[in-house]
Amino acid sequence: MAQGKILANNKKARHDYFIEDVYEAGIVLTGTEIKSMRQGNVNLKDSYAKVVDSEMIIFNMHISPYDKGNIYNVDPVRPRKLLLHKKEIKKMLGEIMLKGLTIVPLNVYLNAKGVAKLEMAVARGKKDYDKRDTIAKKDADRRMAHQMKDSRRGDY
């Protein structure tokens, strides 16, 4: 879904969660925050999104202060409003309340127009045995791909 320069990727999200639905949202930023993001100074490691007063808010998304900004720099981990349609927010809220799912940010990117977008997912948490199964499957796929590559060369 992301079709631009990826600024930050949350690899842990796909490891710890089963991804159900993926959504794209705009982020309300200040001038120095977008400048810092364009330099790649953004981190999604412990961030999460919640619905507060029928608005989607992302918490703990760290955007480092812009090095050339002075009094205009803001708190790096302040809550930021996400821009979504009301219909999407209601649908996500329903899935969270009924199915016990959570909203996890996947990545932040700049689209073709240079606007910062956040790709997030409604996700279900994985248990430890699910994580082991995923790792084993990836390892088996990697080995099979390696074997196929060797067989095409003629090395047996």
pLDDT tier at 155 (50, 70, 90 boundaries)?
low
pLDDT at residue 130 above 90?
A: no
Domain of residue 144, residue span: 127-156
Indicate which CATH number applies to the domain containing 34: 2.40.280.10
Percent of the chain clearing pLDDT 90 (strictly above): 29
How many domains is the chain partitioned into structurally?
Answer: 2
pLDDT at residue 125 above 90?
A: no
Assess whether 79 and 10 both reside in one domain. Answer: yes
Q: How many CB atoms lie within 10 A of CB 66?
A: 21
Q: What is the pLDDT of residues 23-41, one digit of tens each?
A: 999 999 888 888 888 888 9
Assess whether 27 and 77 both reside in one domain. Answer: yes
The whole-number average pLDDT for the span 69-92 is: 87
Distance CA 72, CA 70 (A): 5
Assess whether 103 and 132 both reside in one domain. Answer: no
Q: What pLDDT does residue 2 have?
A: 60
Could you tell me the pTM of the whole model? 0.76
The whole-number average pLDDT for the span 6-25 is: 88
Q: How many residues does the chain have?
A: 156
Q: What pLDDT does residue 76 have?
A: 87
Instruction: Look at the alpha carbons of 7, 41, 121, 119 in this order and tell me if their dihedral is positive or negative.
Output: negative
**CA-closest candidate to residue 114, choices 34, 20, 11:** 34
pLDDT at residue 1 above 80?
A: no
Confirm if 7 and 110 have CB atoms less than 8 A apart.
yes
Assess whether 27 and 95 both reside in one domain. Answer: yes
Assess whether 9 and 84 both reside in one domain. Answer: yes
The whole-number average pLDDT for the span 95-121 is: 89
Assess whether 94 and 35 both reside in one domain. Answer: yes
CA-angle at 61, arms to 59 and 67, nearest 5°: 135
> Which one has a higher pLDDT value, 72 or 25?
25
**φ, ψ for residue 60, nearest 5 deg:** 65, 20
